[in-house]
Amino acid sequence: MTVSPLAPTRPAHPSTRPDAASSADPRLEVQRTLHVTSLITWGVLSLHSLLVEPGRDHLPLRDVQWWGAVNLTFLAVMLLTLGGLVQRGRPATLALLLVQSGLALIANALLSGSSVQAGLMIAIAAQAALVLPLRLTLLWVAAQSAALLWVLLTHWQNQDAWAFTTGYLCFQGLAAMTVRTAMREIRARQALAAVVDELRATRALLADASRQAERLQISRDLHDLLGHHLTALGMHLQVAEHLLPQDAPAGPHVQTARRVTRDLLKIGRAH
């Protein structure tokens, strides 16, 4: 004889989020941060260059106007690049980065080799690190630094040009390595989140299995208990059948009850 356990519950699984760690590209998060920091960097460097360089170096108005046009064009190209830095194909992205580098160098030259304006190279190096492997990123930084050195050598003394170029070379390398470190940290965080989700799912499955085992044990206990009671009932009915006179009105009912008890015991043993 069997007693059906309660209906099993479906194991709880963690909800699937659109931004789940397993599907998110870590570069997208870094791209959003670069969008803000690059814009702030451009604004600060441009404001400093506009307020200091023309008056200190006695630049003609025409050069300042050309610098303003080139600098605004750089801003437009930078925003266009950052708007689809990860989603866009690599050739198109490299072309936009190359345009940024050219515009930054031109703007630097128009301000008589402004060391402040050269800081835009740092933002470009960070963008390159987001889409290029490490080796190509370092080559990009080296090429940018060589071009900056050439521009500075046309306006400064050799010692000063080399000093500022090597300094910006270090800053560019630091920016590139910071971006790559940030991407590694985001990937590690996503992997940890995936492990936590799996552990939660496993814990839910284990809890459900424990509940099912408890219900099964209760079902078996009820089965054994009812079997014992039916056996005892059958024995009492058998005794009652023998004690009753043959012509007693309750005799057929006792026989029927005994037969039903016997059939139930047979069904229980079969299961």
Position 141 scores a pLDDT of: 94
SS3 state at 259: helix
Position 135 scores a pLDDT of: 92
58: left (phi over 0), alpha (psi -120 to 50) or beta: left
Position 69 scores a pLDDT of: 92
Is residue 108 within 8 A of residue 148, CB to CB? The reply is: yes
Average pLDDT of the residues in 209-214: 87
Position 8 scores a pLDDT of: 41
pLDDT in tens, 86-117: 787 788 889 999 999 999 999 888 887 776 78
Distance CA 67, CA 70 (A): 5
Average pLDDT of the residues in 39-50: 88
Q: Which amino acid is at 66?
A: W
> CB-based contacts of 230: which residues, under 8 Å, 6+ apart?
1, 261, 264, 265, 268
Average pLDDT over all residues of the chain: 81
Secondary structure of 143-187 in the HEC alphabet? HHHHHHHHHHHCCCCHHHHHHHHHHHHHHHHHHHHHHHHHHHHHH
Average pLDDT of the residues in 13-40: 69
Residue found under tokens 């690059």: 38
pLDDT in tens, 166-181: 999 999 999 999 999 9
Position 16 scores a pLDDT of: 42
Residue 29 pLDDT > 60, yes or no? Answer: yes
CB atoms within 10 A of CB 113: 21
Position 172 scores a pLDDT of: 94
Distance CA 124, CA 104 (A): 9
